[in-house]
Homo-oligomer: A and B are copies of this chain.
Amino acid sequence: MPRAITAFSNPLVKATQRLRDKKHRRDAGLFLAEGLRILTEAREAGRLPETLFFVPTADDRPLVTALVAATEAAGGDAIETTPDILSKLSGKDNPGAVIGVYREFPTPLDALDRSAAAIWLVAERMRDPGNLGTILRTADAVGAGGVILIDESVDPFSVEAVRASMGALFTVPVARARWDEFRAWLRGGPGQLVGLSLDTSSGYRAAAYAAPTFLLTGNEAQGMPDHMAAECDLLVKIPMLGKADSLNAAVATAVMAYEVLARTERSA
């Protein structure tokens, strides 16, 4: 049976709110996800919250009920609360009907099966949580095997990244690795490393891709370091006709990923 919490001063409310902060997430090994769409996506992927906060709502009541039942069946805690407390936990004015507290599930690099997919997305020092979440969402859409985060990256379990992923955090494996670890793992099997670059004359539409393709996107502000570009089997460029000579990193990754997807399908 769900219990009810209606006081801001409740210790569980305070502990949950602290998970918005990276240090507390790391210490607890827990993170937050919010909204019926994302939590339902998680449930369908077999991920249930350790604690589920929900408000009784008229809309989508069956989905809330299903989440409560699944959470409790898995031994989790379902807590009925108020919209104000949900807002406070979320940091948004309009957080929706549910917030879940999930155990983090990092994927070790060695657990990735490169033969499982033709496309893998690799992001180097990704800085913006919205960009990372959007890349996760794109990875889901193109059927990528996973996302590999290289060196110091924004936390994929941050509230903003989870939100922008629209649930893809729960369906797409995310591994974190230092560059040297990644390189050693990559070269231990088949795989073409393709880097996005401005310093090449090879257009992305004319390049020859070979599955599994690992698409490497560099840091938003600086691009990738020279030694990473040198390691790439192929450097390709997306044409830019405008004045700014730049694309959002998540957009560039998606344009590339869809090109590789279309070519892989064509050759299949």
A interface residues (Cβ-Cβ under 8 A, vs B): 41, 44-45, 130, 134, 137-143, 164, 166-168, 171-172, 205, 238-248, 250-251, 254-255, 258, 261-262
Contact = CB atoms under 8 A, between A and B. Distances in A.
Given A242-B143, A258-B238, A247 B45 contact: no
A134 B254 CA distance: 13
Given A130-B130, A171-B242, A242-B168, A138 B254 contact: no
A72 to B, nearest CB: 24
Contact of A137 (B130, B141, B241, B246): B246
Given A45-B243, A137-B248, A254-B255, 14 more contacts: A134-B250, A140-B240, A140-B243, A141-B239, A142-B241, A167-B243, A167-B244, A168-B242, A171-B242, A171-B243, A172-B242, A248-B250, A250-B251, A251-B251
12 contacts: A41-B244, A134-B251, A137-B244, A138-B247, A138-B251, A140-B242, A141-B241, A166-B244, A167-B244, A171-B244, A205-B262, A251-B251
Contacts of A243: 41, 44-45, 140, 167, 171
Nearest to A265: B239
A40 to B, nearest CB: 11
A-B pairs with the 6 shortest C-beta distances? Answer: A140-B242, A143-B241, A251-B254, A141-B240, A134-B248, A171-B243
Copies per complex?
Answer: 2
Contacts of A239: 141, 261
Nearest to A141: B240
Contacts of A247: 137-138, 141, 254
Contacts of A244: 41, 137, 140-141, 166-168, 171
A268 to B, nearest CB: 13
Contacts of A44: 243
